[in-house]
Amino acid sequence: MKHLIDIENISKEDILNIINIAKEFKTGKKCSDVTGKTLALMFYENSTRTRCSFEIAAKKLSMNVINFDAGHSSLSKGESLKDTIENLYFLGVNAVIIRHSLSGIINNVLQLVKYPIKFVNGGDGTHAHPSQALLDFYTMIEKIGNVENKKITIVGDVSHSRVAKSNIALLSKFSADIHLCAPTYLQFENIEAFKVQYHNDVKEAIDGANVVMVLRVQNERHEKEGYPDSGEYKRLYEIDSKLLKQYAADDVILMHPGPANRNIEVSSELLDNQVGKTILEQAQNGVFVRMAILNTLLGDRNAS
Ligand code: CP
């Protein structure tokens, strides 16, 4: 694994390797192989979990961290992302985490940069969020052992979700029984390209589900303001304790990548009870999974 751009282009072996290393970091059995290396966080879109957990992960690995401030950088004078990254490499940066609103931009820049700096996609537009899918997978394995033939239902704003795409790519590699639930206007346009079962009806979608992953309604990516209507969306798709208890498996795991819109896609009472705690554990696991990603990309085996 030379970079982490999407899930489609990494192997099952790479994924399991990251999961195992993350577990060793979490249980204190592994030490850093990347002490003294330097990471730049290049976030052109807002973030709490991804940005902070990569920073904490790097610091736990005794790396140096640069919080690149795009607004005060020479990008504002017209410098390209390629030139910026090549300069960072010569300043001593070994890896960059990039979050950007443009789908595919990280892959494009990677093709242009001539020097062996490592790239990690921290979420690009509606394309991919691979480290999120890896931490979600880690959390599922921790909670339910494995995902093979388990019913995993993703509910919400699927059409705008890089998290859904990366999760589907990963869970498909491990033969999960994947279900998607959204109103038609928030569903993938090319649904037939994905090996999933699609539902409009949330009760049918979560019936017997082992995992219910709720997605945020991404208002900032909707072209028309006030669409979808939040009242109607809540009435038809909000996940709450009653719905989970009535339809999902008894030991269902509730997940959400965050940030959550309380009382729109998920009820506040569910977020604050014991079932909702898994969502915070997801964020916590993100630190160990991101330690494993950095250690794998920058450790001696993968050194450039
Ligand atoms: N899940 C996720 O990507 O959250 P942030 O936008 O806060 O990083």
Examine residue 7 and state whether it is found in any structural domain, yes or no.
Answer: no
Residues 124 and 136 reside in one and the same domain: no
Ligand 1 shell residues, CB under 6 Å: 47-51, 123, 132, 257-259
Examine residue 26 and state whether it is found in any structural domain, yes or no.
Answer: yes
Residue 303: pLDDT above 70? Answer: no
> Which of 50, 154, 284 to mutate for ligand 1's pocket (most ligand atoms within 8 Å of CB)?
50
Average pLDDT over every residue of 234-247: 96
Q: How far does residue 131's CA lie from ligand 1's centre (Å)?
A: 10
Structure tokens at 125: 């537009």
Q: How far does residue 258's CA lie from ligand 1's centre (Å)?
A: 6
CA-to-CA distance for 296 and 304, rounded, in angstroms? 12
Residue 301: pLDDT band (50, 70, 90) is low
Examine residue 207 and state whether it is found in any structural domain, yes or no.
Answer: yes
Examine residue 6 and state whether it is found in any structural domain, yes or no.
Answer: no
* Contact present, 48 and 278 (Cβ < 8 Å): no
Q: How far does residue 51's CA lie from ligand 1's centre (Å)?
A: 8
Global pTM reads 0.95
Total number of domains in the chain: 2
pLDDT digits 0-9 by tens, 135-185: 999 999 999 999 999 999 999 999 889 999 999 999 999 999 999 999 988
Residues 141 and 194 reside in one and the same domain: yes
Going by CA atoms, what residue is nearest to atom 6 of ligand 1?
A: 47
* 290: β partners: none
Examine residue 74 and state whether it is found in any structural domain, yes or no.
Answer: yes
Predicted pLDDT of residue 222: 63
Residue range of the domain that includes 222: 131-283
* Contact present, 263 and 221 (Cβ < 8 Å): no
Residues 94 and 140 reside in one and the same domain: no
Predicted pLDDT of residue 291: 98
Q: Nearest-CA neighbor of 215 among 176, 247, 261, 148?
A: 261
CATH number at residue 43: 3.40.50.1370
Going by CA atoms, what residue is nearest to atom 3 of ligand 1?
A: 50
Residues 138 and 198 reside in one and the same domain: yes
Examine residue 40 and state whether it is found in any structural domain, yes or no.
Answer: yes
> Which of 46, 47, 163 to mutate for ligand 1's pocket (most ligand atoms within 8 Å of CB)?
47
Examine residue 89 and state whether it is found in any structural domain, yes or no.
Answer: yes
Average pLDDT over every residue of 261-279: 95
Residues 135 and 276 reside in one and the same domain: yes
Residues 254 and 296 reside in one and the same domain: no
Specify the ligand 1 atom closest to the Cα of 51.
Answer: 8
Which amino acid would we find at residue 158?
A: V
Q: How far does residue 254's CA lie from ligand 1's centre (Å)?
A: 17
Residues 205 and 104 reside in one and the same domain: no
Q: How far does residue 122's CA lie from ligand 1's centre (Å)?
A: 9
Q: What is the 3-state secondary structure (H, E, C) of 175-227?
A: CCEEEEECCHHHCCCCHHHCCCEEECCHHHHHCCCCEEEECCCCHHHCCCCCC
Residues 167 and 277 reside in one and the same domain: yes
Crossing angle of the two packed helices 162-173 and 12-26, in degrees rounded to 10: 100
Residues 186 and 293 reside in one and the same domain: no
pLDDT digits 0-9 by tens, 180-230: 999 988 888 777 778 899 999 999 999 999 999 999 987 766 666 555 677
Residues 109 and 209 reside in one and the same domain: no
Going by CA atoms, what residue is nearest to atom 5 of ligand 1?
A: 47
* 213: β partners: 154, 255
Residues 65 and 89 reside in one and the same domain: yes
Q: How far does residue 49's CA lie from ligand 1's centre (Å)?
A: 5
Q: What is the 3-state secondary structure (H, E, C) of the chain?
A: CCCECCCCCCCHHHHHHHHHHHHHHHCCCCCCCCCCCEEEEEECCCCCHHHHHHHHHHHHCCCEEEEECHHHCHHHHCCCHHHHHHHHHHHCCCEEEEEECCCCHHHHHHHHCCCCCEEEEEEECCCECHHHHHHHHHHHHHHHCCCCCCEEEEECCHHHCHHHHHHHHHHHHCCCEEEEECCHHHCCCCHHHCCCEEECCHHHHHCCCCEEEECCCCHHHCCCCCCCCHHHHHHHHCECHHHHHHHCCCCCEEECCCCCCECCCECHHHHHCCCCHHHHHHHHHHHHHHHHHHHHHHCHHHCC
pLDDT digits 0-9 by tens, 63-117: 999 999 888 888 878 899 999 999 999 999 999 999 999 999 999 999 999 999 9
Examine residue 2 and state whether it is found in any structural domain, yes or no.
Answer: no
Specify the ligand 1 atom closest to the Cα of 123.
Answer: 3
Residues 137 and 167 reside in one and the same domain: yes
CA-to-CA distance for 285 and 22, rounded, in angstroms? 8
* Contact present, 140 and 282 (Cβ < 8 Å): no
